[in-house]
Amino acid sequence: MALRSRYLTSGVETAPQRSLLYACGFTKEELDRPLIGVVSAHSDIVPGHINLDKITEAVKAGVRLAGGTPIMVPSIGVCDGIAMGHVGMKYSLASRELIADSVETMANAHCFDGLVLVPNCDKIVPGMVMAAVRLNIPAVVVSGGPMMAGLVGGCETSLSKMFEAVGARKANIIDDKQLLDFEENCCPTCGSCSGMYTANSMNCLCEAIGIALPGNGTIPAVMSGRIALAKHAGMAIMDLVKRDVKARDIINPKSIRNALACDMALGCSSNSVLHLLAIANEAGCPIDLNMINEISAKTPNLCHLAPAGPTHMQDLNEAGGVQAVLSELAKKNLIDTTAITATGKTVGENIKDVKVKNYDIIKPIEKPYSETGGIAILWGNIAKNGCVVKRSAVAPEMLKHTGPARVFDCEDDAIKSIYAGEIKPGDVVIIRYEGPKGGPGMREMLNPTSALAGMKLDKCVALITDGRFSGASRGASIGHVSPEAAEGGEIALVKEGDIVEIDIPANKVNIKVSDEELNERRKSLKEKEPNIKSGWLARYARLVTSADKGAILK
């Protein structure tokens, strides 16, 4: 076991470094042990992160129990819900790169022998995992766990219903008192918001890809089992360090395919596509959108958690969690059970005795919600490099849809039009110049999708954007259009009233405009001024690649 920390803790030449470590209060005995970085995204502003101080302390206890020295270092984290609908959302996806860079910086600058990553919410999870595979040192993820569902009007509810309630209020479907009921009761505990939104999607996929212990995605934040899991994560990293099992030993082509299969079965957020593309790129085994459709075509959708259905993460946990989903997939050889995981065992060994406890929550593989997966990639003359839809959250009547384009050059204008009642049944709302470069930062469009759902228009109006949609979005919400408008993508050429044809089963999205007409329109296309001209977002806009590449930096 060759320890990186020996660059600091042994030899005459490194006495100055040790003097500074002694200044931190470390003892010689602690410095003789492996040094484990515990990267915590704890803060007071993110509901999913306010409990991470407890998780971090539990991880540190586990590391000490197994003979290591834990060293906590911080990470930033944006709350997507709080950042939604204003300039703050431009920072969300972009922060993923800052997080990856900062974890890399702290781990290499201080010669950590291994990492326990303690995130919970949307971009923090993939940012930390990207850093782990970039560094390629032993690493384990343990999240803060999902929030419990709220209770409004006697029904389980979550953040997606809160955003939809705003649309319902704007349409006078509910009154102020009912809106306040949602506001005060939909998010009742700490934890990542309780549906299969992006945070919970990525925490579940960390289990499926093998870098997190079983239970990471589903044990609720308020359960004592979450603290026990964190202690076991601290013990697990010491085993990985001793056996020299690195992040890329766990995250590789076979485990990425496992994660994609699990993604399809769970009906994860469409953002999971961006993040798995980015993680795979960092792991040195890039994937493309064709592979995603290939896996989706043969992987049944087994779960309909909010926003696709009425169930939440606590229900999935009680039904057996991610490991039970993997167990179902293994029945039809849809996952590679030989992949190694952070438990020190293979996927097959982890799920050997696992069974689904409630087939109403996790459908049997023989009787799925659908024979195809929860995510679909579409192509067409306005998305030549592809776009993404969460198929499992689309109403059956919207899987095929034709209607006139209602074109907006930013999210804010679209929201104003929706709230003003200007969007009619049958319309296709086009929101452009919100991509990775154009936004910049590829804002989530939860406000417009939720407004339409709250106004009861989600089953008759589609949305298409080069931005992205929250995992809490439902309906025919098609995002990640590539190339984006800011790079001259064909979505920039769409005009008000153009007829848009959407055929999700056939993986197609097109406007009924000839190539000749599009070429003529391109001649008069003017370059749009950047939305942000200063600060680090301006630098991000210059460096970021398109969504079909995972919106990674060049």
Q: Annotated catalytic sites, by residue? A: 470
Structure tokens at 342: 């952070």
Do the Cβ atoms of 453 and 474 come closer than 8 Å? yes
Please report, for residues 170, 184, 309, the alpha-carbon distance to residue 328 in angstroms, rounded to integers and kept in the order given: 43, 38, 20
Phi (first) and psi of residue 81, to 5 degrees: -65, -45
Query: Under 8 Å CB-to-CB from 392, ≥6 apart: which residues?
Result: 267, 301, 304, 308, 369, 370, 373, 374, 375
Radius of gyration from C-alpha coordinates of the chain: 23
Q: String of b and e for 417-448 (b: at least 16 CB within 10 Å)?
A: bbbeeebeeebbbbbbbbbbbbbbbbbbbbbb
Do the Cβ atoms of 463 and 388 come closer than 8 Å? no
Measured distance CA(384)–CA(381) in Å, rounded = 6
What is the CB neighbour count within 10 angstroms for residue 514? 10
Q: Which of 234, 213, 226 is nearest to 63 (CA)?
A: 234
What is the CB neighbour count within 10 angstroms for residue 310? 14
Please report, for residues 209, 402, 439, 513, 543, the alpha-carbon distance to residue 379 in angstroms, rounded to integers and kept in the order given: 27, 16, 22, 15, 25
Pair type for strands 150-152 and 155-157: antiparallel
Structure tokens at 154: 């006697």
Using DSSP's 3-state secondary structure scheme, residue 375 falls into: strand
Do the Cβ atoms of 59 and 233 come closer than 8 Å? yes
